[in-house]
């Protein structure tokens, strides 16, 4: 059974006002006290208003769920010890002037990318799934491309930007898309071609290193995994677990297609970019581009097509029933963007949106 691990980026906010706070160093210091070096799960991120954690690799859905809840609870406690709070928000609803984290790498990026980096306060969710070889991993990347936009629609959790409604469900993805190496990739065909393209991109000097290969899905440069990076951080941890399980299902399904000699769908990158834009703009509230046809279809139809596409892998992992229940919850209650807008409609203030999302992050659900 393939293992899966999750990296989540959380927003650090003032517990009273909801405004982002540049205190990641202090929160990390609180997290490091009393923890062995090999037990550290928290890291700094691009901006000092962010905190990232990474779960240990897990093979069982329930074990991953427990790991995510544990990490979120610890993050909330470490933030509270520092006088702030954490919120699973992919962008800040309230206005903010982000503060770039210290370090030579971030300094280089700030000099090179200017306002693109300065405004890049976004929180995503990355899922790592184990692979047997780079050849298998690249075959997976080639075959999951059309389905990634559906994952974005399900996870969308960033409707607000600098104090106003962006009109998007995932505005994070629009901000993230400013990076020159971000977005959908083409079909690589072989591991050699994948690694050659990575070397060529870094060799231009535009990117500092391999870590700046920001494809929606890539071969991890640190672990023997396929890394899917398209999603917003989810408000509800159950949605994060659903996302990870669907990702593993996609990886396993694609690997089996490769082994059976089935070629990847040859959708052009420009179509995939439009599919991702549609998912970012509307989330689950309107029509999405169907991965098979790249034509509009009802969002629920497209989401269920994804589920059917990976059902055999879900069955083999014992994930079908809990994944069905989690998916039904998202389709019933909406993604994080829909929840945030509902809170604003009910309370009339973005501060209350942040406060409610802080509570949901701390208490692990609605």
What pLDDT was estimated at residue 207?
Answer: 97
DSSP state of 80: H
Q: Which residues contact 88 (CB under 8 A, 6 or more apart)?
A: 8, 10, 11, 72, 123, 157, 233, 234, 235, 236, 237, 336, 357, 360, 361
What is the β-pairing status of strands 287-289 and 296-298?
antiparallel
Q: Domain of 107: which CATH number?
A: 3.30.590.20
- Mean pLDDT, consecutive 10-residue stretches, the chain (366 aa), reads 97 97 95 69 92 96 96 96 97 96 93 95 98 98 98 98 98 98 97 98 97 97 96 97 98 98 97 98 98 97 98 97 97 97 98 97 80
β-strand 84-87 against 217-219: which pairing, if any? unpaired
- Domain containing residue 272: 4-363
Number of continuous H segments (helices) and E segments (strands) in the chain: 14, 11
**Sign of the alpha-carbon torsion through 267, 273, 274, 278:** positive
DSSP annotation string for 117-176: HHT----EEEEEEE-S-HHHHHHHHHHHGGGHHHHHHHH--B-EETTEE-S-SBHHHHHH
pTM attached to this predicted model = 0.96
Per DSSP bridges, beta strands 217-219 and 225-232 are antiparallel
Structurally, how many domains does the chain consist of?
1
Q: Does an H or E element contain 8, and which?
A: strand 4-14
Per-residue pLDDT at 365: 64
DSSP 20: B
């Amino acid at each position: 059974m393939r293992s899966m691990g999750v990296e989540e980026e959380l927003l650090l906010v003032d517990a009273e006002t909801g405004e982002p706070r540049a205190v990641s160093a202090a929160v990390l210091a609180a997290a490091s006290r009393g923890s062995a070096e090999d037990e550290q799960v928290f890291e700094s991120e691009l901006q000092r208003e962010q905190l990232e954690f990474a779960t240990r690799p897990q093979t069982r859905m329930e074990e991953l769920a427990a790991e995510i809840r544990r990490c979120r609870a610890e993050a909330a406690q470490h933030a509270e010890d520092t006088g702030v709070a954490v919120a699973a928000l992919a962008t800040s609803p309230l206005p903010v002037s982000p503060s770039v984290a210290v370090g030579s790498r971030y300094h280089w990026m700030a000099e090179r990318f200017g306002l693109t980096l300065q405004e890049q306060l976004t929180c995503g969710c990355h899922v790592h799934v184990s692979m047997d070889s780079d050849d298998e991993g690249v075959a997976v990347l080639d075959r999951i491309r059309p389905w990634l936009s559906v994952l974005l629609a399900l996870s969308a959790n960033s409707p607000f930007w600098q104090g106003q409604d962006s009109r998007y469900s995932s505005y994070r993805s629009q901000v993230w898309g400013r990076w020159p190496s971000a977005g959908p990739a083409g079909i690589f065909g072989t591991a050699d071609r994948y690694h050659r393209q990575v070397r060529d991109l870094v060799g231009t000097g535009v990117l500092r290193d391999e870590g700046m290969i920001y494809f929606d899905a890539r071969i991890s440069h640190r672990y023997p995994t396929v890394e899917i990076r398209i999603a917003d951080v989810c408000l509800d941890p159950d949605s994060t677990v659903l996302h990870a399980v669907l990702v593993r299902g996609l990886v396993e399904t694609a690997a089996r297609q490769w082994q059976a000699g089935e070629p990847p769908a040859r959708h052009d990158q420009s179509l995939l970019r439009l599919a991702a834009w549609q998912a970012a703009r509307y989330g689950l509230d309107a029509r999405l581009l169907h991965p098979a046809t790249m034509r509009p279809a009802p969002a629920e139809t497209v989401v269920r097509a994804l589920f059917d596409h990976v059902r055999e892998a879900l069955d083999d992992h014992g994930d079908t029933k809990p994944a069905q229940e989690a998916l039904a919850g998202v389709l019933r209650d909406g993604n994080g963007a829909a929840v945030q807008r509902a809170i604003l409609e009910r309370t009339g203030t973005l501060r209350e949106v942040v406060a409610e999302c802080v509570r949901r992050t701390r208490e692990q659900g609605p």
